[in-house]
Every structure is written in structure tokens, then in C-alpha cells.
Amino acid sequence: MIIGTPREIKNHEYRVGLTPESVVELVAHGHHVLVETGAGAGIDADDDTYVTAGAEVVETAAEVFARADMVVKVKEPQAAERAMLRPGQILYTYLHLAPDPEQTRDLVKSGAICIAYETVTDAHGGLPLLKPMSQVAGRMSVQAGATTLEKAHGGRGVLLGGVPGVAPAKVCVIGGGVVGFNAAQMAVGLGADVTILDRSPEVLERLGIHFEARAKTRFSNTANLAACVAEADLVIGAVLVAGAAAPKLVTRDMLSTMKRGAVIVDVAIDQGGCFETSHATTHADPTFVVDGIVHYCVANMPGAVARTSTYALNNVTLPHALRIADLGWDAALAADPHLAAGLNVQSGRVVHPAVASALGYENLPKKDADAA
């Protein structure tokens, strides 16, 4: 199979779909790898490194898309990239389709086979291809929140950990999954006063055992959520419904109860965000203010730590990429129902139920390759 990796073109996105080490593995399996020139610059992997690994470096993304049987990326394809997809071509990347009707429409029109990292599952009900970026984003959310709380960045001028004689910042983490757990770990480590909300008694018990007295846990209902948000200096939205749009848990009315200059970091923004007032921002212009509350809603937070993120991502995406390349997409998905859960769009059809429900498409079953 010919596998191609273009340079990412989303604003301040420095990650790359394949590391040189992943190229070595794919070539060892007998596949041919195309890499757009400069694609690895953000992780300090130059073209010569990719050539040494066995890749063919090409000049343009257009050549990658024209020649590749499978395109491996990091972020969802931008409009110019979607226009280059063709029927039967495999796209393997993060998609986050539920809040993005325009992208979904283009992918359906393309006829491509679109496998989304974020909906691939595992035997334990987890999302293993989303987990490493959730770990990165959770940890980064506290870094970003701490910086945004500084007065020069529009915040309240509060130090997250406080100092002797001055109370630390109050941090409210909404959601106790992978993002929330990692956010809480960082906030606790910096000495903040941390409260984590979740609706699962099992999750709350696990968090309580792990953090003991270093963080508080509360059941996430309307009253507790409103109280936690009102007293927080930093609120981190860490809610995920696999494949579906994130629920809007914090309303605009709640902002009026918050402290002026408090900060919201919406990690769920890839799936539409869990704050009513959120909209996606970029690393170039990461924040905006609504009713005196600073919102940080960067949709590709892990792109800022591209080297860490790329290697963490390739650790979990490469085994599936090898399986797809070795067997073909249809046989690979037939052999692995967890990988099959990653199929979002196939040959002009939306085949993931959460995406179909969110965007009003008929939920159609997957077709066999020979019927596609």
C-alpha cells in the first residue's frame, strides 16, 4: 500500500501523522511511504531523516493525496485537503465530526473511507487513540489556565498554588475521565484547591482513592455544578461523549455568578465545547472574554507540544495503521470490532451512530468493500 503523510496546515499545528520511526515500521512491512517536504519540521525531523527511514519525500500535499492509498494525518482535513480526497481512499486521522457539519458533508461527498482516531475503542470500553492526546490536553489545560489567570493575559491575577499566607486558586474540573484526571493531577501538583465533578460513583470513588485529601470530589448535578463554577478561579471542561457533541453543561447565566477575570478552559471544544459561550480559538489568538470571564478554547492544544504529542500518538495509531495497510481496510475492520468503531464515513455514507444522530443523517450500516 502507498501511505502518505502531508504537512498539517491547521493554525499552529506542528504535529505530524507519522514519525520517522513509524515510517521504518511501515516500510519493513513492504509498504511505500510518501511524506510532504517539511511535514516533520515541528518535531525536529527533517526531510533527510525521513529519507533515511525509507520514505519518499514529495514537494506538495497534492502529490501525497493524488498517489496515496491511505492518508495518515493528525487533525481533521481542512477544506483544501478535503477537496483532494477521492472515492475509496482511506483517511486515518482525528475527525471530530459531530459539531462539524461542513466537514462531514465534504467527506460524504468525497466517497473516501474515513476512520477517526477518536472513536476507535478497546476491550475495556476506552478510547485508546484519544487517550494520549487527552492526557496531554488535560495537563496542558492547567498550564494554559495558570498563564491565562495572570493579569497580563486578562485573568484575575491569581497564582494557582498561592503562597504562605495567601490562599491558592480554586480549580473546578468538570469530568473525571482521562482529561479531568490529568488536569487534576497537574493542578494538585501546583498546590491549587481542586474539586472534580463527575456523574459516575465508580469514577468518583477511584478519584477519591487516588487523590485522598489532595482534591475534593462532588457528584455532578445542577446544584453542585453551579456552586463549584461560582466559586472557582479556573474551570476546566473535560467532558466527553464518544463521537457525539459535548453537552452544554455551563450556561451563560452561570457566568454572572463567577468571579470577574476567572478563566474557563474548554478542552471539549473539539466536540463543540461544554460551555454555552465557547467557540473554537487558535494558538495564535487563544482567548476571548464573555461577561468578564476569560475563555481559552484552543481546538488543538496538544499541537503546541508537538514532539511529545506526535510520539505519544504514533505509539497508539501505528499498530492499526499497519493492520489496515497489511490487510486492507475492510479485512482489518472485519477482524477487529474495536477498529471498526473508528469508521465514521464510508463511500458517501455516515456509518457512525453518534455522528449520524448529532448531524441528522440516516445511520446506515457499513458496506463491504466489494459493494462500496
Give DSSP secondary structure letters for 114-165: EEEGGG---TTS--TTTHHHHHHHHHHHHHHHHHHTSGGGTS----TT-BTT
**15 annotated ligand binder:** yes
**Is residue 242 very low, low, confident or very high in pLDDT (cuts 50, 70, 90)?**
confident
Give yes or no: 96 in active site: yes
Give yes or no: 32 in active site: no
* pLDDT tens-place string over residues 275-304: 999 999 999 999 999 999 999 999 999 999
**pLDDT score, position 270:** 87
Select which of 270, 295, 330, 352 is catalytic: 270
**139 annotated ligand binder:** no
**Is residue 365 very low, low, confident or very high in pLDDT (cuts 50, 70, 90)?**
confident
Q: Which residue type is seen at 93?
A: T
Q: Which residues pair with 198 in a beta bridge?
A: 219
Mean pLDDT of 335-344: 97
Task: With CA atoms as reference, report the closest residue to 326 among 35, 38, 8, 30.
Answer: 30
The domains found in the chain, sorted by start residue, are: 2-126+306-359 (3.40.50.720), 131-296 (3.40.50.720)
Question: Are 276 and 252 spatial neighbours (Cβ–Cβ below 8 Å)?
Answer: yes
User: Which DSSP string do the residues of 28-94 spell out, in sequence order?
Assistant: HTT-EEEEETTTTGGGT--HHHHHHHTPEEES-HHHHHHH-SEEE-SSPPPHHHHTT--TT-EEEE-
**298 annotated ligand binder:** yes
**48 annotated ligand binder:** no
pTM for this one?
A: 0.89
For residue 275, the tally of other CB atoms under 10 A from its CB is 28
Q: All 3 cell numbers of residue 166?
A: 495567601
**pLDDT score, position 368:** 59
Report how far residue 276's alpha carbon sits from residue 32's, in angstroms, rounded to the nearest whole number.
Answer: 46
Residue 150 has pLDDT above 70, yes or no: yes
